Structure 1
Amino acid sequence: MRISNKMALLTAALVMSSVSGCTTASQGDASAQSPATAPASSASEQDGVNEEARALLPQSMRDKGTLVMATDPTYPPFEYFDTDNKTVIGWDVDMGNVLASSLGLKAQYVPATFDTILPGLASNKYDAGMSAFNVTEERQKVVDFVPYISGGSGMAVLPGNPAKLSMTAASLCGKKIAAQKGTHESLDILPTMSEECTGSGEHAIDQAVFPTQTDANLALLSGRVDGVMADSIPLSYQGTLAENKFELAAGGDYEPRLSGIALNKESGLRPAITAAMKAIVQSKTYSDINKRWGIPSGSSITADQISE
């Protein structure tokens, strides 16, 4: 997709960070203290309130009037800071705006590091986690999910893939591979593939875990790791933002799976958000948001994929 002026400025910031060796980790920690409220998109205003879904909201949420959503703004195109370094934008923000508006609520986004969001939900610090969470069995033991998109993992490599990496254990044995802390890639996929390596007599994967996706990407650009494992959609988009200084390794998505909104199991929000999301994924607004952020059509889901 074409890079807008905002994206070009972000690209410059990423390149400058890679040159100076700086990361956004400290910025992310600081910004996590101050919520950023984003205005509802014009699409959400046009769709109006889904009265049937709103009726399923707990009375306490209707009285509060604001849906507080935690997000890790280091993961374009799903969530990242705009050029003012304060306003969170991205696919999740657009979708969250539509979701909140359909429930007659205002959307409020709280920047947070990815691995702190689920504990924050458990302690009722947030109403929802809107940060491209993969739906996994382990996470479902802790929180509820309402799916909104599908996708798999991919491998970011330097142009031309000099290390000849792919989403196979055999190509990663003995290599240094980065992932973001708390992600499915760092917790499940990389450890499993590393065990495959050692089980076949090869060297284990040298797993480098970073607090933010930006840190992991910068490690690749600076030559500190051989590759970065993450969701394929963000990796592809982030490579474009970085002026194609890294790219996705060839091959299809690894283990395509659902991603969605994370909710405290005791919040009572799941019925309302499920009903609202079922209507949204069947609307033109859903396809418009996907197109705006370069989401492949194959990543769209249907209402049937959202369980009650």
Structure 2
Amino acid sequence: MSPSHPRRTAAAALVLASALVLAACGNPADGGTTEIAATKGADTKINTSPEQDRVTTDKVASIAAGVPERIRETGTLELVASSGSAAPLTFYATDDKTVIGVEPDLAHLVADVLGLEPHINTVSWENVFVGLDSAKYDVGFSNITVTEERKEKYDFATYREDNLGFEAKKGSGLKITGPEDVAGLTVAVSSGTNQEKLLIEWSKENEKAGRKPVDVKYYQNDSDTYLALRSGRIDLYLGPNPTAAHHAATTGKTEVVGTYSGAGATLQGLIAAATKKNSGLAEPLADALNHVIDNGTYAQVLRRWGLSGEAVTRSEINPPGLPKTNE
């Protein structure tokens, strides 16, 4: 059965108060946990050790039966995620080899429902999609935003809200509420992402209004980006809000100075499991996600990573996504 749920528009898509409140934490004394404040007055200890003790759930035969036969016969769900370390989404445990985070946890939970053994492959961002195109991988759990352009090649089953965060050096005095606030600023962003698309459109909007464009910068990895931010070579870094908030909380050297919906000003962005178009996986994935939403294990996973504020009430198949143009 296909899930349905009325679309929630972003009545206040530009929210300066982060949906994910991460604050005041340091490096764990034992190298295996990090403490964050997920909500006011509620601390969450994040387990960063290889021994994850993940939340699990039982197989649901009626949902598992909907998985395409070729996948059922292998008994394995080939999952793919970006190899870039981005806590608390997908990153490496303290052994520097075990893949952990909210994305792997949700992928494991879905595989449980489908009665499949999850196998996580980590590749560069662009190769996530190359691998899906070639059917090398079955499904991407990699903080992938639903966009109208991507829907032409992929099917989606949503599982989290998508909010972007503008991260600045602590004490910058910046406050980002719209395109005019980034006019003339130097902003780093990852290539091929929806945040890049939004930033470029904001820059064009500034030029049309007679304001200075954005000076967009690209770096090979997060460490180079944050070095540039600390040294003042860039003013801002635009990335996923959970990552920005987590970095600000754990280092104390940066701050989130504005957030924005990943789908633009009039639509709440959504993160989704991505599969090759017409692969037959979207419906069982959405059904599995709705099952774990209903049985409470989904909420447990989000809570253990401090991301309860990005929960959805239902998984949707191919909902409206980031438009091809926001003009």
> Per the shorter chain, which TM-score range?
0.7 to 0.9
> How many Å separate the matches in 1 of 2:281 and 2:316?
18
Query: Which residue of structure 1 aligns with residue 322 of structure 2?
Result: none
- Aligned pair 1:50/2:70, yes or no? no
Shift of 1:115: 2.3
Query: Which residue of structure 1 aligns with residue 127 of structure 2?
Result: 116
Show the 5 A alignment for 1:219-238. Answer: 219-238=228-247
- Aligned pair 1:5/2:28, yes or no? yes
Would the aligned equivalents of 1:179 and 1:185 in 2 still touch at CA under 8 Å? yes
> How many Å separate the matches in 2 of 1:111 and 1:40?
18
In 2 relative to 1, CA 4–260 (structure 1 residues): closer, same or farther, beyond 3 Å? farther
Q: CA RMSD in A?
A: 2.6
> How many Å separate the matches in 2 of 1:7 and 1:123?
42
In 2 relative to 1, CA 214–129 (structure 1 residues): closer, same or farther, beyond 3 Å? farther
2:254 paired residue among 224, 246, 249: 246
In 2 relative to 1, CA 42–75 (structure 1 residues): closer, same or farther, beyond 3 Å? closer
Shift of 1:9: 7.8
Shift of 1:71: 0.9
Moved more, 79-88 or 245-254: 245-254
> How many Å separate the matches in 2 of 1:57 and 1:111?
23
Deviation digits for residues 40-63 of structure 1 (CA, Å, limit 9, x no counterpart): 95521xx21011110001111111
In 2 relative to 1, CA 250–205 (structure 1 residues): closer, same or farther, beyond 3 Å? closer
SS at the partner of 2:189?
Answer: strand
Would the aligned equivalents of 1:179 and 1:213 in 2 still touch at CA under 8 Å? no
Show the 5 A alignment for 1:27-66. Answer: 41-44=53-56, 47-66=57-76
Would the aligned equivalents of 1:68 and 1:126 in 2 still touch at CA under 8 Å? yes
TM-score (norm 2): 0.77
- Aligned pair 1:172/2:182, yes or no? yes
In 2 relative to 1, CA 249–104 (structure 1 residues): closer, same or farther, beyond 3 Å? same
Shift of 1:149: 0.5
Deviation digits for residues 6-52 of structure 1 (CA, Å, limit 9, x no counterpart): 896899xxxxxxxxxxxxxxxxxxxxxxxxxx9995521xx210111
SS at the partner of 2:306?
Answer: coil
Deviation digits for residues 199-245 of structure 1 (CA, Å, limit 9, x no counterpart): 1222210111234445433432333211011121221012223x221
> How many Å separate the matches in 2 of 1:5 and 1:142?
42
Deviation digits for residues 240-263 of structure 1 (CA, Å, limit 9, x no counterpart): 23x221110046656431111111
Would the aligned equivalents of 1:239 and 1:247 in 2 still touch at CA under 8 Å? yes
Would the aligned equivalents of 1:151 and 1:233 in 2 still touch at CA under 8 Å? no
What percent identity do the matched residue pairs reach?
Answer: 26
Residue type at the aligned position of 1:64: T
> How many Å separate the matches in 1 of 2:185 and 2:234?
8
> How many Å separate the matches in 2 of 1:64 and 1:215?
40
User: What residue ranges of structure 1 are gaps of 5+ in the alignment?
Assistant: 12-37
In 2 relative to 1, CA 63–41 (structure 1 residues): closer, same or farther, beyond 3 Å? farther
Query: Which residue of structure 1 aligns with residue 302 of structure 2?
Result: 290
Would the aligned equivalents of 1:148 and 1:301 in 2 still touch at CA under 8 Å? yes
Deviation digits for residues 69-92 of structure 1 (CA, Å, limit 9, x no counterpart): 111242211101112221110000
Would the aligned equivalents of 1:177 and 1:225 in 2 still touch at CA under 8 Å? yes
Shift of 1:166: 0.8
Would the aligned equivalents of 1:40 and 1:107 in 2 still touch at CA under 8 Å? no
Query: Which residue of structure 2 aligns with residue 26 of structure 1?
Result: none
Residue type at the aligned position of 2:252: N
In 2 relative to 1, CA 218–148 (structure 1 residues): closer, same or farther, beyond 3 Å? farther
Would the aligned equivalents of 1:132 and 1:260 in 2 still touch at CA under 8 Å? yes
Query: Which residue of structure 1 aligns with residue 213 of structure 2?
Result: 204
In 2 relative to 1, CA 277–114 (structure 1 residues): closer, same or farther, beyond 3 Å? same
Residue type at the aligned position of 1:82: A
> How many Å separate the matches in 2 of 1:206 and 1:49?
50
Would the aligned equivalents of 1:39 and 1:97 in 2 still touch at CA under 8 Å? no
SS at the partner of 1:201?
Answer: coil
Matched residue pairs, number?
A: 276
In 2 relative to 1, CA 144–89 (structure 1 residues): closer, same or farther, beyond 3 Å? same
The structure showing larger relative contact order (alpha-carbon pairs under 8 Å, at least 6 residues apart) is: 2
In 2 relative to 1, CA 145–130 (structure 1 residues): closer, same or farther, beyond 3 Å? same
Shift of 1:4: 6.6
TM-score (norm 1): 0.81
Residue type at the aligned position of 1:59: E
Would the aligned equivalents of 1:150 and 1:257 in 2 still touch at CA under 8 Å? yes
1:75 paired residue among 64, 86, 102: 86
Residue type at the aligned position of 1:244: G
